[in-house]
A and B are shown apart, each in its own frame.
Chain A
Amino acid sequence: MPSLKIAKSGKNIPTITDNRDYIFNSDFDYLKESSSGLVDTDNNGDLTITHNLGYVPAFTVFVADYADQTKWYSYDYIGNIYATSSSLIIIGAMGAIKSKIHYTIFSEQL
């Protein structure tokens, strides 16, 4: 089966032995963004995002205080976060206050 390969500048595809030297290689699978967005929690830092993929997907989430959206934190500032086969559920963001959430839900199944 033919492959689509794009090498980094200065690299020659037929001689590449280190996969990091590819920009793209169709022999590999990729984390594909199924959906993403910038959304608000409620006043308790809670939010449910419906994806309806029918399976539990991989995801990333970042969070900011709704009153100061210049600083964005990784998920440790979220009280609890998990995915189900239909939703991404965030509980108690930023210590259970109204927060801004950036989420990415991937096509890949956990």
Chain B
Amino acid sequence: MGDLQIGAWADELLAGLWVTVYITVLGAVAAVVVAFALGLLVRMRHIVPRTIARVVIEFFRGSSLLVQLFWLFYVLPLLGYPLNPVVVGVLAFGLNFGAYGAEVVRGSINAVPKAQWEGTVALSLSPYHRMRRVILPQAYPLMIPPFGNLLIQLIKSTPLVFLITLTDLTAVADQYRASEGREAFIFGLLLVIYFVLAYVFTLVMHLLEARAKAGLGQREDPRKILAYRGPMEEEREAA
């Protein structure tokens, strides 16, 4: 492997890693916001918000992420919105994963035992207080494992931003490949970096889950949080 010339590229790779991480984080935040908005709308009794939310969810789950990314990238400017690629990427990830997340939010809220709902009615809590103080705190720990799976899916989708001109990790690796060759080395290295990245985010989700459960009086052994758990059960339900 004599002279790999990786030293000169280390800074660029780090810069690319930074782009990947912040697109992931911003995309995840956007997705959570969209997921809660759509997930709450789709549970409403009134038919109008419910239908709109359902259509948006099915639309973004049903068409491909890459198409959505390209659509925002190529079509929005034509309609008069000069967007920068970061906004396009975050918007596409937010809407796509938010649509998947909406189902998680809806399902977790529905999974809160019926007696809890009845209790809030008996105490005549306002709908806002019912959600904020009773239902969501119990639904929240249920949401974290499926959200964790979606987060991993999101990280695995970030290389696509390379197609909308962002210089993420994959884009830097592709430049390296174009000028230095050494394809096996650079893409092998990239696989390892993404694997580590996914693992770090998984650990963060485990910590969040433990904290949320502790809030409900279900403490977890700290060793269990860090322990390797194997593949998660819940699969991302395809639409």
A and B: interacting chains: no
**Residues of A with Cβ closer than 8 Å to B?**
none
Q: Report B's interface with A, CB cutoff 8 A.
A: none
